[in-house]
Amino acid sequence: MPVLRRLLIVDDDPLIVRYLSEALASPAWEVVAASDAMNAFMLARDLRPFMILTDVQMPSYGSGPDMVKALRREKVLANTPVLVITGMQPERAQKLLAPDDARVRLMSKPPDIDAIFRVIKELTGVDGAAPSPPAA
């Protein structure tokens, strides 16, 4: 059965990408990664992920909040839920995000994997933490 959902992880730190990719692996979706906001935006346009996890600060090609703004201008991506995971002070990071965007959540690093699964389920209805059904 082909995977129809993609979870896009965006962070310039390859260790964070690897950790999140492994920790969030699920039969409910395929994990796809990008190392900067520009590549993430282009991947999102092509793959139309059901959810995006992104860092705030990345050294090149825009920031996580820049990518979220660009997503909101694209008709097919405008409603894509986004979880922003950052090492920045939460109050400072919140100021970079649209205050009235109900499809965006903010979380501090280090990431809490159980909390990430809960946010994904809250924003998308997809339960990646649930065990897969037995094979028929």
For position 62, which CATH number holds? 3.40.50.2300
129, part of any domain: no
134, part of any domain: no
**Structural domain that includes position 37:** 6-124
16, part of any domain: yes
Identify the residue with better confidence: 18 or 134.
18
115, part of any domain: yes
Identify the residue with better confidence: 5 or 59.
5
Instruction: Return phi, psi of residue 135, to 5°.
Output: -65, 145
133, part of any domain: no
26, part of any domain: yes
Instruction: Return phi, psi of residue 86, to 5°.
Output: -145, 155
Structure tokens at 118: 């809960």
Give SS3 for 2: coil
1, part of any domain: no
Which residue's entry shows tokens 């008709």?
75
H/E run at residue 85: strand 82-86
What span, in angstroms and rounded, lies between the C-alpha atoms of 85 and 97? Answer: 12
DSSP state, residue 133? P
- Mean pLDDT, the chain, rounded, equals 87
Q: What is the pTM of this model?
A: 0.88
135, part of any domain: no
What digits encode the pLDDT tens for the residues 18-58? 999 999 999 999 999 999 888 999 999 999 999 999 988 77
Structure tokens at 42: 């282009």
Number of domains forming the structure of the chain: 1
What digits encode the pLDDT tens for the residues 113-129? 999 999 999 999 999 98
E strands, the chain, in order: 6-10, 30-34, 51-54, 82-86, 104-108
